[in-house]
Structure 1
Amino acid sequence: MSMSANENLFTEERANIYTETENENWKEETVEDLDDEYLTEEEKLHPWKQTKVFYWSVFVASVAVLFYGIDISAISGAQVGYKPHFHISSRTNLVGVMVSCIYFGTFIGVFVALYTNTYFGRRFSIYVAAILSTGGCLWEALAPSWQVFIPGRLVVGISYGIIGETAPVFLAEMAPTSIRGGIVSLYQQVITIGIFIGYLVNVIFVWVDYKVTGWRIMIGAPMVPSIIEVFLVWTAPESPRWLIKRGRLEEAKRNLMKLRLYPETAEKDFIRIKKSIEEDERLQEGKNLMLELIRLPFLRRAVLVGIMEMLFQQMSGMNVFMNYIDTVFQENIHMSSRDSVAVSLFPGFVNMMATPIVFFTIDRYGRRTLQLVTFPIMFLMLLMVLFSFYGDRKVNLAFFIIGVIFFIVAYSPGAGPVPWTFCAEVFPTYVRAAGTLVTTFFVNAFNFALSFSWPSMEAAWGPQGSFGFYAGFNFLGILMQFLFLPETKGYTLEQMKVVFEEGLFTIAWYHIRSGWRSLRKLLGLPVSNTPLISPYDKAVALSRAREEELRRHSGEPVKDG
């Protein structure tokens, strides 16, 4: 699959013609980095109408994510084979290590990605991840013992750390603001497609002597998309933002011409991004960006809320179903190994089919709304799963499956994609790499904690206590996100720096007052006519930011954060 020569010729020709005449149409001084994204009327009416090159680039980035998704479910199916093969079924700590050790690799991968993304670009980072994934999967599949298996899993983890740090940012930097939430959410959608493919592979190869050969094919399956990505990644244009940052302006302009539907939109975006990067470089000069995340209050708030989002994504309990659902069916509902692998295909299918809801909701209703609607459903479904174990086998099986399916239906458009979208967009551009590094580190830490602890937790507390623990985390997630999660839809990446100008307790107090008013309206009680001004109201926040820029340029003192 590739673009036609005519498509390439057209975009190159359009870029060259427009570069020669750009100064006749637009003046750089008319565009500010805090301006809203420029859109033609056609783009406002049909935001998903984009160029073939744009969608091809999205496809290329998506294949890079696919092997990550396949591994999530492959490890679940492979356990029914490698645990008896390596004679570790009763060693719960070792079972947890073999699943979770991948996240030690991701810690390393995150720091590798920081270096490669800075100096070599998004495409090279994805290329390195694909090479490592291919080698690591082969290593795991050929491992003669669990001692050899674990280092291979660490190598795979490094590749996933690079992908987790690179793919959401690459998608965010290519996408127009009007559909950025949906495009970045594609990261989670492709993971769910990979998860389903992994379950499908498990179902097929569990019938091929799964204790000796079948599990090896399952665990090696992610290398197929990684091999493809090694060659495919070079067919997509490099991120315009990264090119501008490296001083390759003409190449960045040509890429934007390919990625945007109209030349005037591309030109406006080029100027806005260029000015934003110039401002970033001014802000970065002589600073340690990690310390900057702590020193400036508005960055500190963004980091805390980003970590909170990743915490509740992982501690919702979803990865228990993804990494261990086969063994949960086998050990707690007393299914055979093959039946448990076959039944697990259905939750994987539901996960894949429910995630596209996010494309039509995240930029229309917002990130906050999705979280506050889906988390209560997840909480209730985990309670159903918990209480299913107090019935007989038929009741247990029926209510467990119903609870899992509707939990996944809620998770897929909410807690799955929203934290990735939020963390890819919320940090001001000059510290985005450092900010996403921190949040990616924490999501892997939380994922490690869940993946490692589940076998021992289940053995000690039973399924009731274990699922009750995650139900409690979901309830806590409802409260914390209601209080502290702001809405970020509609902001350009360059405008994100104004979202956390006000303190978290100011944001929480606004949400309490707003929620109280909504409750009174629902009950038919009188409500004050005085409007509540949101602390992250876009018009107010941007007006304040522009005033501070004017004071800065005039030499007046400006507060930090």
Structure 2
Amino acid sequence: MPRRNETSTFGDRIAEHHGRDIEFENLRKETTISPHLPGNAADHARRNLNAKLANPLAGFTQEELRKQGVNFAIKHCLGDEEDIRAFGIGAMLAQTPDKFATVPGLKPEELEVLQNEFAHRWSQPWTMYLVVALCSVSAAVQGMDETVVNGAQLFYKLQFGLKEGDRTSDWLTGLVNAAPYLCCAVISCWLTVPFNAWFGRRGTIFITCCISAITCFWQGFVNTWWHMFIARFALGFGIGPKSATVPVYAAETAPPAIRGALVMQWQMWTAFGIMLGYAADLIFYDIKDPAGIVGLQWRLMMGSAMLPAIVVCCFVFRCPESPRWYMQRDRYDKAYQSMCRLRFNKVQAARDMYYMYTLLQAESSMKLGRNKMLELITVPRNRRAVIASELVMFLQQFCGVNVLAYYSTQIFVMLGDVHIRTALVASFGWGVINWLFAIPAVYTIDTFGRRNLLLATFPLMAAFMFFIGWSHSIPEASTHARLACIALGSYLFCAVYSTGEGPVPFTYSAEVYPLYVRSYGMALATATTWLFNFILAVSWPSLQSSFKSQGAFSFYGAWNIVGWFAILLFMPETKGRTLEELDQIFSVPTRLHAQYGLRQIPYFIKRYILRQRVRAEVLYERADAHAVPTDAGYNA
């Protein structure tokens, strides 16, 4: 690749990305790794093949960056002299945000704010905490929508004439439970792009929460299985676009230091909503039917999920719109106003906004006029991101977690001499663990890494899923022992899932796609997870009837083993990478990454089992470690 001069444009730089696949392959052919080299020499030779990761602002002097920032502010009429000055300094800060001490012209109060940003990353303006609350409650809406049906189905099935063990009734039960996810997969997730284009991030969240509130209320008034199916199918219009929009909104508004943690909170607070759903089932269990009303308890269970959606609708427009969304529509003044509300100081706002501008400029040169959905497949960098994102989204369902989320109460009741209240309490315990063990992932996802979390947890999930299945072989005379073992296996599986495959997929999918196709990539990712969610939910009653609990749980245990190998081979690590670094990472040919993954198996055996002193192979190296931000920041 020809060396870039200091005055090259961002468009020129990003255009080089299209040739990186060819360049990487040529470099591989030119470099030979002899089998006769000693281990360290062979490792060194392999590292010469690594993608060299660069900051898009590297190469510019501070004075050049200052002039660029000033010109940007003047061109887009972004305030007075103080604002123009802030953009001059912000452009310099954007090059190396952690090297703020070397940037000239900072006032003492600005230097103090920047120091505090790195020393106390959760010290944020109240508006940023309002955004955190919005994303959290929106996620709780999602979780509660999913799980109130767990306990309610035990009651409305009888009222609708759906008999336990009847093959037709099993499929109808699964179809009613899975109706929202069918809607998500085939219709609503694909509305994410037009909804975001027409209404913005906040508008999309507001509309989808309105739909969730109305349909939850509707579910409390149905009297037949097909009417329940229609109401729950309509609920999918409130689930699909919201699940794709909220993580992106979080990523686009959060400062670099907490971006990964804030995006990950989608899963943590979804888990909280799941727990609320189980709690609602318990709270309304003892409600008796008054005169003229049949099934008041399950109607209140289903209707209670409307409450968090109403809360979101009440304050969503108190939050600022995504600055990136404004900038994509050339509304730079609105973007700057939003960013100033989300940061303590104008210098911080100018820094982050200018960096967003450089990424938008870079990505605009990649818009080749082709269909964007087609570019997800035809552009090699995008295609590899699709493979990795689709893989983790698929496995989020086929690890088997939502069998427990949707059917745990029924599973416990089917053991025999287990009271419904006991089964509801056991399910609530599952929900509590699901939430509590999601909390540490706020830390581990940006320290341990996305890929490492999955490689560490999938073998454990497989073991616990097999344990749940074969615990059903305990003799029926020992009902309490069976209940204890199945509950234990479920809780252990949940604890492991909540620290790994729970938080990773949405965080990973929200960051791996370039901005110009991100809405399309997230729509595809969420459609995938909801499609397989539907398949799992609709098929479980019949799968359990046909193969018994032992075979049904073992089926998903086997998928966890398959998933471990797939992640090892096809999922690159994204922790701590900027957007430009991700372009380099996903330019590495898939077969080379798969070969690297296979080489990690003997390394692990030597290092952790045989306790040998061996050096880990590093697939990706930064060309200039000092020029690249070290946090997970500028990747959204």
Q: TM-score, normalised by structure 2?
A: 0.79
Residue type at the aligned position of 1:240: P
Give the alignment partner of residue 213 of structure 2, picking from 120, 134, 140. Answer: 134
CA contact (8 A) 1:205 1:217 kept: yes
Matched position secondary structure for 1:412? helix
> 1: distance between equivalents of 2:548 and 2:134?
43
Q: Please state how far the C-alpha of 1:343 moved relative to its aligned partner.
A: 2.2
* 1:52-451 equivalences in 2 (<5 Å): 52-89=126-163, 90=166, 91-107=169-185, 108-209=187-288, 212-392=295-475, 393-451=479-537
Q: Please state how far the C-alpha of 1:252 moved relative to its aligned partner.
A: 1.0
Deviations 1:508-558 (A, max 9, x none): 2222223422322335576676x7341x434489999xxxxxxxxxxxxxx
Matched position secondary structure for 1:283? coil
Give the alignment partner of residue 48 of structure 1, picking from 94, 99, 122. Answer: 122
Change in CA separation of 1:151 and 1:509 when aligned onto 2, cut-off 3 Å: same
Q: Please state how far the C-alpha of 1:141 moved relative to its aligned partner.
A: 1.0
CA contact (8 A) 2:217 2:306 kept: yes
Please, which moves more after superposition, 380-389 or 519-528?
Answer: 519-528
CA contact (8 A) 1:141 1:220 kept: yes
Matched position secondary structure for 2:295? helix
Q: Please state how far the C-alpha of 1:435 moved relative to its aligned partner.
A: 0.9
CA contact (8 A) 1:133 1:156 kept: yes
Change in CA separation of 1:78 and 1:541 when aligned onto 2, cut-off 3 Å: farther
> 2: distance between equivalents of 1:454 and 1:27?
59
Please, which moves more after superposition, 42-51 or 448-457?
Answer: 42-51
Residue type at the aligned position of 2:313: V
> 2: distance between equivalents of 1:424 and 1:386?
34
> 1: distance between equivalents of 2:612 and 2:436?
42
Matched position secondary structure for 1:537? strand
Change in CA separation of 1:332 and 1:494 when aligned onto 2, cut-off 3 Å: farther
CA contact (8 A) 2:78 2:332 kept: no
CA contact (8 A) 1:73 1:322 kept: yes
Q: Please state how far the C-alpha of 1:436 moved relative to its aligned partner.
A: 0.9
> 2: distance between equivalents of 1:62 and 1:195?
13
> 2: distance between equivalents of 1:505 and 1:327?
44
> 1: distance between equivalents of 2:345 and 2:461?
42
CA contact (8 A) 1:34 1:495 kept: no
Change in CA separation of 1:268 and 1:217 when aligned onto 2, cut-off 3 Å: same
Matched position secondary structure for 2:414? helix
Matched position secondary structure for 2:123? coil
Deviations 1:62-121 (A, max 9, x none): 222222111222011110111001011331000010011111221322122210112321
Change in CA separation of 1:34 and 1:158 when aligned onto 2, cut-off 3 Å: farther
> 1: distance between equivalents of 2:406 and 2:609?
43
Matched position secondary structure for 2:252? helix
Number of residues of Structure 1 aligned to a counterpart in Structure 2? 527
Change in CA separation of 1:17 and 1:398 when aligned onto 2, cut-off 3 Å: same
Q: Please state how far the C-alpha of 1:457 moved relative to its aligned partner.
A: 0.1
Please, which moves more after superposition, 321-330 or 514-523?
Answer: 514-523
Residue type at the aligned position of 1:396: R
Please, which moves more after superposition, 479-488 or 234-243?
Answer: 479-488
Change in CA separation of 1:508 and 1:216 when aligned onto 2, cut-off 3 Å: same
Matched position secondary structure for 2:330? coil
Matched position secondary structure for 2:412? helix
Q: Please state how far the C-alpha of 1:275 moved relative to its aligned partner.
A: 2.0
> 1: distance between equivalents of 2:143 and 2:308?
11
> 2: distance between equivalents of 1:350 and 1:29?
43
Residue type at the aligned position of 1:105: C
Residue type at the aligned position of 2:587: E
Change in CA separation of 1:395 and 1:510 when aligned onto 2, cut-off 3 Å: same
Change in CA separation of 1:37 and 1:155 when aligned onto 2, cut-off 3 Å: farther
Q: Please state how far the C-alpha of 1:147 moved relative to its aligned partner.
A: 1.6
Q: Please state how far the C-alpha of 1:284 moved relative to its aligned partner.
A: 2.2
> 2: distance between equivalents of 1:235 and 1:499?
38
Please, which moves more after superposition, 19-28 or 154-163?
Answer: 19-28
Deviations 1:105-141 (A, max 9, x none): 2132212221011232100001110111122112211
Please, which moves more after superposition, 331-340 or 448-457?
Answer: 331-340
> 2: distance between equivalents of 1:429 and 1:537?
24
CA contact (8 A) 1:31 1:271 kept: no
Does 2:532 align with 1:532? no
In the other structure, the counterpart of 2:85 is 24
Change in CA separation of 1:203 and 1:168 when aligned onto 2, cut-off 3 Å: same
Deviations 1:15-72 (A, max 9, x none): x998531333543895699877887332222222222110111101222222211122
Residue type at the aligned position of 1:455: P
CA contact (8 A) 2:90 2:348 kept: no
Residue type at the aligned position of 1:503: P
CA contact (8 A) 2:381 2:587 kept: yes
Residue type at the aligned position of 1:448: F
> 2: distance between equivalents of 1:528 and 1:321?
41
Residue type at the aligned position of 1:230: C
CA contact (8 A) 1:177 1:491 kept: no
Q: Please state how far the C-alpha of 1:418 moved relative to its aligned partner.
A: 0.5
- Structure 2 regions of 5+ residues with no counterpart? 1-76, 101-113, 629-636
Residue type at the aligned position of 2:621: D
> 2: distance between equivalents of 1:323 and 1:528?
45
In the other structure, the counterpart of 1:7 is none
> 1: distance between equivalents of 2:425 and 2:557?
26
Deviations 1:314-358 (A, max 9, x none): 111110111001110111354233332222111111111111010
Deviations 1:444-481 (A, max 9, x none): 11101100110000000010000000100111111111
CA contact (8 A) 1:61 1:171 kept: yes
Q: Please state how far the C-alpha of 1:285 moved relative to its aligned partner.
A: 4.8
Q: Please state how far the C-alpha of 1:433 moved relative to its aligned partner.
A: 1.0
Does 2:584 align with 1:498? yes
In the other structure, the counterpart of 2:4 is none
Does 2:550 align with 1:464? yes
Residue type at the aligned position of 2:322: S
> 2: distance between equivalents of 1:63 and 1:30?
35
Change in CA separation of 1:426 and 1:481 when aligned onto 2, cut-off 3 Å: same
CA RMSD of aligned residues (A): 2.5
In the other structure, the counterpart of 1:4 is none
Change in CA separation of 1:241 and 1:477 when aligned onto 2, cut-off 3 Å: same
Matched position secondary structure for 1:274? helix
Residue type at the aligned position of 1:471: G
- Structure 1 regions of 5+ residues with no counterpart? 1-15, 545-561
Please, which moves more after superposition, 136-145 or 280-289?
Answer: 280-289
CA contact (8 A) 2:372 2:520 kept: yes
> 2: distance between equivalents of 1:508 and 1:229?
43
Residue type at the aligned position of 2:572: P
